[in-house]
Amino acid sequence: MADAQTPPKHTNRLAQEKSPYLLQHAHNPVDWFPWGPEAFEKARSEDKLILLSIGYATCHWCHVMERESFENEATAAVLNEKYVAIKVDREERPDVDQIYMKALHATGQQGGWPLNMFLTPDLLPITGGTYFPPQAAHGRPSFTDVLNNINQLWHTNRPKLTDSAGTLHAFLQQSDAPTDQSLPEAEVLDRTFAQYRGMYDSYRGGFAGNGANKFPPSMGLVFLLEYYRRNSPKENGEALQMVEDTLDAMMRGGIYDQIGGGLSRYATDHDWLVPHFEKMLYDNALFLRALVECYRVTQNPRYKTWALDVCQYVARDMTAPEGAFYSAEDADSEGEEGKFYVWSAAEIEEVLSEAGIDIEDRKLLVEFWDVSMRGNFEGKVILNERVTRDRFLAGCGKKADEWNAVVEKARAALLERRSKRVRPLRDDKILTSWNALFISALAQAATAFQDRDLYERARRAADFIRDHMHSSDGSLYRRYREGEAGIAATLPDYALLANAHLDLYRAGFDPADFARARDLAGQIRESFADEKEGGRGAFFETRADSADLIVRTIETYDGVEPSGNAATARLFLTLALYGEDPAENRAQAEGIFRYCKSGLTEQGASHSYLGVAFAAYLNPSAEVAVVLPKGVAAGELFWQSTTGPDSNAGELPGIADLLSQASGELITAASTAGDTESEAVVPLLENRATAGEDDKATVYVCRNLSCERPVHTAADFQALLKGPAKLN
C-alpha cells in the first residue's frame, strides 16, 4: 500500500467502489475491474480470459496473496497483458461467490478464500483454486506459471478449455431438486440429532470437522435446544449437555475475546484456544441467539451474563452512529495476525499493578487466564480460562461475587491499555442479512431479559434499513456504505429481514413490524419463486432480473448464515400461525421441506436451521394473544414494572415473565383494548382487541388459531400453557 503522504503509483477502477475489500486493491498495479458490463465487454472484444478473484476485507489469506502477487509489478504485468482481472467482494455479491465456489467444488477442490477462478469471456468457469503461492513450492506451481499455462492453452488448445467450461456450466444448470419430493418424515430430526451426537467432542465441546479448525456451531446448538424442548426425556439430557458444554468451552476459550468480548470466526485448534482472530457480525449474532435460547431453557444466569457481554461488544465496536451494525473486524493489525489481541506476561503484570489490583489477586488472575512467560501462542499469551469458573473458585477459596468483581476490574484495565494499540481494520459496510440476524438476536434477548435498551437498539437498526436501503420501486438493497445503498438484495436478505421484523413484533408489538414482514414475504413470492414448481418449491437465491449471472442457484444448506430457504420456511410458518393466509403460507413452507427432503434426511447437520423450522412445522408452538387494559401500551409489556389500574398491576409483569421464558418461536401478539389498528394488521388479534376487560389483561392461548377460554391472571395463563395448548 502507498504511504498516506505519497500519491499512489497506481490507481485502478476499484477506487470508485464502496467495498472496503475492493478499495484495498484500488492501488495495486493490477488493472482490476469490478464485476460488471465494462469488464465483460472488454474480455469479449479482446478475446481474453477472465481472472475472477473473490475475497473479503478481513480475509487473512486474501491479504497474503495481495502482498505476494497482486502488489508485484511483474505478476501484475502478466495479468494485465493476458487477462481481464475482476475483483469481487463475496460479502457484497454472495450470489457470484456461490456460483463459482460450486464450480470449484465440482472440480474436486476444497473451497476457501481468496477464490481465484478462470472464466471464458462469457463468464463460464474453466478451473481455479484458492491461494496460489508466488513461487513454485511443495509440488504447487507459482501463480505466474498458472497464469501463463492457462493463457497458452486458451490460444493453442481452446477446445480443451471450452469443453471444461461447458461441462461445469451444465453441472451448474442441473436442478438440485431430488426425484423424491415427498414430505420428510419426523424421524429426520432424530437423524440430525444422531449426526451431532456422532460428531460431538465430549472432551472439549463442539463438533469434529474435516481438519484442525473448529467453527462455532451456533445454528447446530439452537437445533439441539429445540430438539431438547420437543423430544422425549430419554434424549433430553444428552442434547442439552452438548449445548451447555460447548457454549461453556467457547466462552472460556481464546476464540472468545476475554477482554473486549466478541467471538472470532473459528479456532485453529480443537481446544478453542487459538482463534483466527477476525470477528464477523453474523457469528456474533448466531452465538447471541444460542446463548439467549440456552438461558430460556436453563434459566442459568451465566448465559444471560455472556449474552449481554456479546451485546456490549457489538454496541462498542460494531455499531454505526445511525444504529446499524458494521460487518467485521480484521485478524491483522500492523501486518501481523492477532497482534492486537495477544499479550506478554510482563505487560499484563504492569497493567494489573497500575490498576491497583493487589499482588495475591494478580497471581490468581495469571493462573485464571493461563498467563505464562513462555506464552501459549508464538511466545505470546492468548487469554483464556483454563477451567470452569466454579472449579477455579473451589480451588482458590474466593466467593463468586468477589472474584467476578476482580475479573471485571482487570478486564477494564486491560481493555483500556489495549485500546491504545493500532486496531485491526473494521469493515464498516452495512449488510442487510447480517444486520437482520443481529436485530433478531437483540429482539429475542430483549424479550428473554425484559431489557428495553436491547429492543431500542434492534429498533434503530431495523429503522435504518427501512429508511436507507430500498430502491425507488421498493425493492431491497444488500449493502450500504458512506451514504450509498446498492447491490440487489438476495433471498437471505429478504427472508432474514422479514424474520427480524417478526422478532421485533414479538418484542415491541408494533403492528408496522408485522406489516413489514408480510410485505417482504410478498416480494419473495413475486421475485424469487421457481415458476416450474408453481411457486411452491424452494426459492432462488437471486431475483428473476439478475442479468449478470450465468445461472440462478437454489441454496438449501446453512453456510456461515442460515440458508435463504430455511429462513423463508420459518417466515411462512410464522405468518401462518399469526393467521396470515395460513393455508397458502403453510403450503409454501411444505414446498421447501419437500424440495429439501434429501438434505434434511442425509445431511441434517448442514441444514440445522431448516431442521428447527421443520420441528416447528411438525409441532407448532402455541399462539398467545394478549389484550392489555386501556391506557397500557402493548409495546411496554416486557419492561414496564407497574402498569394499568391497581387491580391488575401485579399481573402484567407475571405475564411478561412467562412470555420471556418461552421459546423464541412462541407466536405472540398484543394490543391495547380498543386498539383497532392492531386488529386490522395482525389476524390473530381479530375480534379480540375490543374483547378485553378495561381493568385487566386478557390472554388467549390458541392452537392453529383455535383458542382456549380467555384468562386474566398470570397463574391461569401458566395453567393453560401447561395444558392442552402446551408449548412443547
Give me the pLDDT at residue 679, please: 65
Q: Residue 419: what are its φ and ψ, rounded to 5°?
A: -65, -15
C-beta of residue 644 within 8 angstroms of C-beta of residue 631: yes
| Alpha-carbon gap, residue 567 to 569, rounded angstroms | 5
How many helices (DSSP H) and strands (DSSP E) are in the chain?
A: 27, 18
Q: DSSP letter string over 482-537?
A: TTEEEEE--HHHHHHHHHHHHHHHHHH--HHHHHHHHHHHHHHHHHHB-GGGTT-S
Q: In terms of pLDDT, which residue wins out, 581 or 692?
A: 581
- pLDDT of 686 reads 86
* pLDDT the model gives residue 662: 80
DSSP 416-481: HHHTTSPPPPEE--EEHHHHHHHHHHHHHHHHHHT-HHHHHHHHHHHHHHHHHSB-TTSPBEEEEE
Let me know: does 625 contact 707? Beta carbons within 8 Å.
yes
Cβ neighbours, 10 Å, residue 587 = 14
pLDDT at 441 over 70: yes
User: Max alpha carbon distance in the chain (Å)?
Assistant: 89
Q: What is the pLDDT of residue 420?
A: 96
- pLDDT tens-place string over residues 172-230: 888 666 667 899 999 999 999 999 999 999 999 999 866 778 999 999 999 999 999 88
Residue with cell 437445533: 223
For 373-421, give the secondary structure using H, E and C.
CCCCECCEECCCCCCCHHHHHHHHCCCHHHHHHHHHHHHHHHHHHHCCC
- Give pLDDT tens digits for 261-289: 999 999 999 999 999 999 999 999 999 99
Instruction: Give the pLDDT confidence score for residue 694 in this predicted structure.
Output: 61
Mean pLDDT of 687-713: 80
Cα separation, 33 vs 15, in Å, equals 10
DSSP lists the bridge partners of residue 698 as 627
Residue 625: exposure state from Cβ atoms within 10 A (0-12, 13-18, ≥19): buried
Count of residues in the chain: 728
Exposure of 706 in the CB half-sphere (CA atoms within 13 A): 5
Residue-level pLDDT at 1: 46
Res 644: pLDDT: 43
Task: Look at residue 642 in the predicted model and tell me its pLDDT.
Answer: 42
The pLDDT of residue 645: 44
The amino acid occupying position 69 is S
Burial of 349 (0-12, 13-18, 19+ CB in 10 A): middle
Beta bridge partners of 52: 86, 117
- 284 membership: H or E segment, kind and range: helix 281-298
Res 689: pLDDT = 63
Is pLDDT of 105 > 70? yes
Q: What's the confidence (pLDDT) of residue 643?
A: 43
Q: Is the pLDDT of residue 50 over 90?
A: yes
Between these two residues, 150 and 678, which has the higher pLDDT value?
A: 150
Burial of residue 335 (number of CB atoms within 10 Å: 0-12, 13-18, 19+): exposed
CB of 473 within 8 A of CB of 488? no
CA-only gyration radius of the chain, Å: 27
In the numeric block, the cell 447446530 is attached to 220
pLDDT tens per residue across span 486-526: 999 999 999 999 999 999 999 999 999 999 999 999 999 99
| Res 640: pLDDT | 63
pLDDT the model gives residue 349: 97
How far are the Cα atoms of 214, 328, 367, 381 from residue 276, in angstroms, in the given order?
10, 13, 24, 15
pTM of the shown model: 0.94
Within 13 A of 652's CA, how many CA atoms are on the CB side? Answer: 27
Rounded average pLDDT over 55-63: 91
- Compute the distance between CA of residue 346 and CA of residue 349 in angstroms, rounded to an integer: 5
- Name the band, by pLDDT with cuts 50, 70 and 90, for residue 326: very high
Cell, residue 490: 438476495
Q: How many CB atoms lie within 10 A of CB 656?
A: 22
Task: Please check the confidence at residue 256 and state whether its pLDDT lies above 80.
Answer: yes
Asked if the model's pLDDT at residue 726 lies above 60, the reply is no
Summarised one tens digit per residue, pLDDT across range 459-468 is: 999 999 999 9
Spatial distance between the Cα atoms of 349 and 194, rounded to a whole number of angstroms: 47
CB 548 within 8 A of CB 35: yes
* 668-706 exposure pattern, b = at least 16 Cβ within 10 A, e = fewer: bbbbbbebeebbebbbbbeebbeebeeebbbbbbbeebe
Write the burial class of residue 717 (CB in 10 Å: 0-12 exposed, 13-18 middle, 19+ buried).
buried
Interval 283-301: pLDDT, tens? 999 999 999 999 999 999 9
Mean pLDDT of 682-689: 84
pLDDT in tens, 114-127: 999 999 999 999 99
In a 10 Å sphere around its CB, with 0-12 CB exposed, 13-18 middle and 19+ buried, how is residue 483 labelled?
A: exposed
- Selection from 133-142, 601-610, 706-715 with the highest mean pLDDT: 601-610
Mean pLDDT calculated for residue range 568-596: 96
The cell for 430 is 452495512
For residues 452 and 641, which has the higher predicted lDDT (pLDDT)?
452
**4 pLDDT tier (thresholds 50, 70, 90):** low
Residue 676 has pLDDT above 70, yes or no: no
- The pLDDT tens digits of the residues spanning 80-93 come to 999 999 999 999 99
* Residue 21 CA: distances (Å) to CA of 79, 262, 406: 19, 22, 40
Q: Which residue has the higher pLDDT, 693 or 589?
A: 589
With cut-offs at 50, 70 and 90, classify the pLDDT of residue 650: low
Using CA atoms, how far apart are residues 486 and 498, in angstroms rounded to an integer? 19
What is the chain's mean pLDDT, rounded? 91
Grid cell at residue 306: 455472556
In sequence order, which residues have a C-beta less than 8 Å from that of residue 380 and are 6 or more positions away?
338, 342, 343, 344
Q: For residue 235, is pLDDT > 70?
A: no
Distance of CA 710 to the CA centre of its chain: 38
